[in-house]
Every structure is written in structure tokens, then in C-alpha cells.
Chain A
């Protein structure tokens, strides 16, 4: 199958593109040009992989979850352990790539938006590594939910801006980051944390995160001698999912399943399932599925997981949905909490609440599949940051 996206205008079929103010257009064109130059430059690849290996700790293990597999009684479950990366999630793969790119472009300042704080921490970490100025934009509500990560970013030397407009979550942090970027575009590099935003971000974030799927493919080849039957990952903006899926897109036998946050249920108004229950629209520089009302105003998203609490999704997922190459499921807060506890008790792995959505889908799917099938799951991050949220939900007080 031929799959060549984005096209030269940055579109994935109907989606993607560059819907930004004129002030930012030249910066995006400059970024696109710089990225096209370095993406096939062996010295960049070498530098990127040097830091992934020696700083991030890659390759991340592919772990056969024996007890979970036995308990569910179906397909073999392999966890791609992105939670073991430096800083605790897949986010750092992308921040290493983008900050190396920023350095090659001669930019000394970086900014980033963050929801759960993982991307903010990953950006602040790599900025510290290279002695760069770093400012992070985070919603007031998320600052409350993720106090530990806020302190971590400050320790790393980043300035954290509290965003109070709108819903005071990831969407509004991204608005404020874009406002800051428009004001400081000449010397500032915007490190977007997911496969969304204007072209070329969805492409370059996907490319940097593809190390997840590439490694997993090779690791499975070594242990099982074959491809997985299903690859599963959670989706907020969708970067760990895109990184997991992309190397398998041309392998048609591999089912790709993205798991959105259903919050209190997709039939309520408190969820973050943009593909399952949204409609096409334009926000944050790209055309994609969005949670919106009939007048084109963006709705509030909700998820127990701050990292999935976003009313949009990366445009490549929108495209994969429309062409039928990937499927999109959704998992409620309650199901995610149950999966969080299950994986913790049965495998001794505390997953991030985001990743617990993927595990919850595995718990539904694995028992329906024959034992010889292989399920690859991206365990995108670890759950230390979520302990307070989970304790709250379980009614535990410290």
C-alpha cells in the first residue's frame, strides 16, 4: 500500500495544513525548510540517536506481560516500556529531536505547552541539558492536578506560566504558547508536544516518536519472529500512538487501535473523544476532528487524565480514521482507573493514567483474541505523577 503523508502542503488527506496568523507563517516555512534539510542528514540522525541511547536510555524494553496475559486468557500482551525513559514518558523522544533541531537553527529559547506536565518536564529537561532558556505554558487547572511536575520544571530552570483563560487546561495553554510565540517568533523555537499544530509539527513529531514503533517491530521480530496482530496506544493529541503506528502503517495485517478518553462517557458532555464524538474543524493551526458545538465554538474536554484532556487530535489520526487504516475506541475514567490498579497489582508497573486507557482497551480486547495472537501496547508513561489523582478518585486522603 502506498502511504505518503503529509503532502507537500502539509495535508493528510483533508486534514492538517497551516492555519495560523501571517506573523507565524514565515517561521513555519523556515522550520519546514530546516527540517527537510536535516531529516535525511546522517549527522543529525547520529546525534539524535546518541542522545536517545545515552541520555534517554533507549531502546526501551519490550516486556512480555505474562501475568496479565494469563489472567485475561487471550492474546499475548507485550508492553513497550516508554515509562522507563528518562523523565518517565515517551515525550522526551520528541523534545530531544526538536531541541537538537532548534540548536541547528540557531534558536536559543524554547517554549512549550503542557497538559499533564510530562511534555513540559521533558522540554525543561532537554533545555537544561543544552543550557537553553525555557518557558512552559500550563493551564491553572492542570497546575493544580500536577503540582509535582510543576515543581520539577521549576527545578530544571524553566519558567512556568499559569494560563487562566477558557477552561484553564491544555487547549488554553496551547493558545497562550501560540500568543507568546507570535510575540517572540524571531528568536524562539516552539516545541509542540504532540502530533498536532500547524505543518510541519505533526510530521516531525511523528518522525521523532516513530522510534517507539521501529524498536518494537525489531524487538518482536527477535522474540516472536513476526509482526504483532494488533498495536494499541492511548490518544490525547496522539503522539505516542502515531509513533507506535507509523512503522506499521504499510503492514496491513497489523490492526491499529487508538484509545481516546471517554471521561464520564461519550454520550455525556464530559469526555475528550474527538474522533469518536467530534466533527472536523480548524484549531491550533490544523484541520482535524474537534469537540465543538454547532456554531464552531470549541467545547470543554474532560478526562481524569490531564494528558488526554484536549478537544482535538492530531490530523494524521483523523486521516487514518477516514481511510479506515486505524480504529478508534474510547475508555471511561472508571475503566482507566480499574486498569491502572490492575496493571499495578498484577505486573508491578504503575502506569500513567493516559497509558491506563490503552491497558483498559487491552483488558477488553485480549480475552476475545486467540492465544497465538500478539498484542503490542504502548505503555506511554509511568504513573507517579498521577498518584494524587488516583488517591482522590479512590477516596484516599494523605
Chain B
């Protein structure tokens, strides 16, 4: 059983919602990201989405755009992100999903990427701009390498399309809570509850919800019905504000612990 499947199975048994923080690899630098991953794992994160920076992050709002720019300026590359994962795996087994845009993977070469990512200990891959219509060009390659391709669903996804995508899903499904880019609006749990429950009725694969979840209260409200909650921009903001300070790891740890508390309450 993969690390992702095992994590969700354990949580389901305990009737807990997965806490899935997102952070950009290399923001402010890869050595700090390495420490941050452990801090997240120690304070209640169940799975981590690790952003691979891209020069043109079309689906991201200003917070994650700025994080990508900082990471690229600090010299982050796909190869270095994979080295980071390999280094983290020496003592940390939290499921890691690389999240980003297709071009860096395409340029690396999908087969070589799958081989190197699997060797490093990557569990999943979420490419924002590789929709089901185009994913065929890498799906067999990732399957062979046992890397789960995470599928995104949006409020604009029609029901029929949703059930087709849900049926083919692996790892978990990422439900985008609003039409928009990351980190610009607040989630409205009441508005998405029915859609998420409808999605859950179509599949055994867990459903994570992301975009607009910034506080323990948001996490708790969404966690009432979702199988996982993704917190991205709010965490990236804390990292940006405390980069270079001794306060960085304690503040991040505290934020994650509060989110987890919200989900357990």
C-alpha cells in the first residue's frame, strides 16, 4: 500500500480529516524547506504538497507567485527538489506530493522524472495545467513508477465529467473550492458541502478541499465533510513573514498544530 493510501486509511479508521499543508520548495531556500517539512510533520500534518516553483504560475495568486519567484531566485530546480525529498526521506516518511506546472516536468523528461522522483521517495504528482484531456502522455509512465497522479476538480466541473474523473482517480481528489486563483478569497464551507458530498458518493478515493482555507475555523468547518483540507497561501505567508528569523519554525509549528486541533475538535 502506498504512503498516501495508508495515511488516508489510518485517518479513516480514526475518523479524522487529513491536514495537507502546501509550501513552495526553496522558499526561502531548500535547507529551510527541509526543516519546515519536518516541522509540519511533527505538528500534525498528514500529507505535504510540496510546490515545485515555475516562472509562470498561472493558477496562483500573488502570495504563491511571490514564493515561486523567491524560490527560483534562490536557485531552486526540479533536480534539487528531488534531492531535497531524498534527503528528507532519511528520517521522515510523511507522504509527499509534488505540486506545480507541467513544463518543468516535460522539460526534465517525464520518464526520467518518474524514475528519479520514485527513487527520491515522491508519492504523488499534481500538475495544475495537465487536465485529463492531456494527462495521457504521462499517466502510464507515472503508474509504472508508482507515483499517484492527483486529479483536480472545480466548481465548474459538470457532474458527468466529475463522475468520470472520480472513477479514474488515485491517491486523493483535490476539489478546488472556488473559481479563482490560490489565496485570494475565503472559502464558503456551506456553498461547497453539497458538491463535496456528491463527489464522495461517486468514489472511494478521499476528497481533499483546497483554496481559501486560512484559519483553524475554516479548516474545522470544511473538515466536517471533507476527507482532507489543504492550506497553502496562509502558510506560505507565515513563511515569507518569518524567513530568516528564529521564530520561523516555532510559528509554523504553532499554526499547523492549531489547524490540526481545529480538525480534531
Give chain A's interface residues, CB within 8 Å of chain B: 9, 17-27, 165-166, 171-172, 175, 178-179, 182-186, 279-285, 287, 290, 292, 294-298
Contacts and interface: CB of A to CB of B under 8 A. Distances in A.
22 contacts: A18-B133, A19-B129, A19-B134, A20-B131, A26-B154, A26-B161, A27-B156, A166-B56, A175-B56, A179-B58, A179-B59, A183-B184, A185-B156, A186-B179, A281-B107, A282-B103, A290-B103, A295-B104, A296-B103, A296-B104, A296-B105, A298-B56
Nearest to A23: B154
B179 A183 contact: yes
Interface in B21-79: 54-61, 65, 69, 72, 77-79
Given A282-B129, A285-B129, A21 B102 contact: no
B84 interface: no
B58 A175 contact: yes
B107 A21 contact: no
A18 B104 contact: no
A378 B32 CA distance: 54
Given A282-B102, A296-B78, A296-B107, A17 B133 contact: yes
A165 B155 CA distance: 27
B152 interface: yes
Which of the listed residues B58, B65, B153 has the most CB atoms from chain A within 10 Å of its own CB?
A: B58
A165 B180 contact: no
A179 B78 CA distance: 24
A218 B153 CA distance: 49
Given A20-B131, A23-B156, A296-B108, A283 B103 contact: yes
Contacts of B107: 279, 281, 292, 294-296
A21 B152 contact: yes
Interface of B: 54-61, 65, 69, 72, 77-79, 101-108, 128-134, 151-158, 161, 176, 179-181, 184
Contacts of B54: 296-297
Which of the listed residues B55, B130, B151 has the most CB atoms from chain A within 10 Å of its own CB?
A: B55
Contacts of A178: 58
A182 B131 contact: no
Which of the listed residues A20, A185, A294, A298 has the most CB atoms from chain B within 10 Å of its own CB?
A: A20
Contacts of A281: 103, 106-107
Given A21-B154, A185-B179, A282-B103, A298 B55 contact: yes
